[in-house]
Amino acid sequence: MFEEGAKVEKTPIYSKWTVLGFCVLFSPIFGGFLLRQNLVDKGETKIGNLLLLVSLLFASFTAYLGTTDLRGPGTTFMANFLEGALLVEFVFRKYFLDEDSYPKKSLRKPLIVSLMVVSIMMLLIILTGVPLIPQ
């Protein structure tokens, strides 16, 4: 019924460094979407949705840090890096132990979508007159 030497083809995933880069440069939400897509492709939809919720909570925490006395030039960057590292390490250690054996997805599509989302948000902020630097 089954061939003994048959190889199971693995679905392509976004690499660990791609996800971490999106967490740091954009937000943990963007990295959470990429990790969710990896998990959905693997068949772990429930865990992927939970992970997306956690990434939303991380982004909320980062936004909260920006309103406290702890804010500074590198606060958001460091928070995004640490939160992204937590997400990436948890998912890849638990669900993608043999990450190198998975084919890698191109980052072109998520990069274009991310840049479009950020551009639209910035355009809305500028058009509504919201100050970019807190007063």
- pLDDT tens, residue order, the chain (135 aa): 455 555 667 889 999 999 999 999 999 999 999 999 999 999 999 999 999 999 999 999 998 988 888 887 788 899 999 999 999 999 999 999 888 889 999 999 999 999 999 999 989 988 998 776 666
Q: Quote the tokens at residue 134.
A: 């807190």
Q: Which amino acid is at 60?
A: S
Please list, residue by residue across 79-113, b when 16 or more beta carbons sit within 10 angstroms of its beta carbon and e when fewer do: bbeebbeebbeebbeebbeeeeebeebebeebbee
- Domain for residue 65, yes or no? yes
pLDDT of residue 8: 65
Which domain does 35 fall in, by range?
Answer: 16-106
Domain membership flag for residue 117: no
User: Does 84 fall in a domain?
Assistant: yes
| pLDDT at residue 10, as a whole number | 81
Looking at residue 23, its pLDDT comes to 93
Q: What is the pLDDT of residue 5?
A: 52
Q: Domain count of the chain?
A: 1
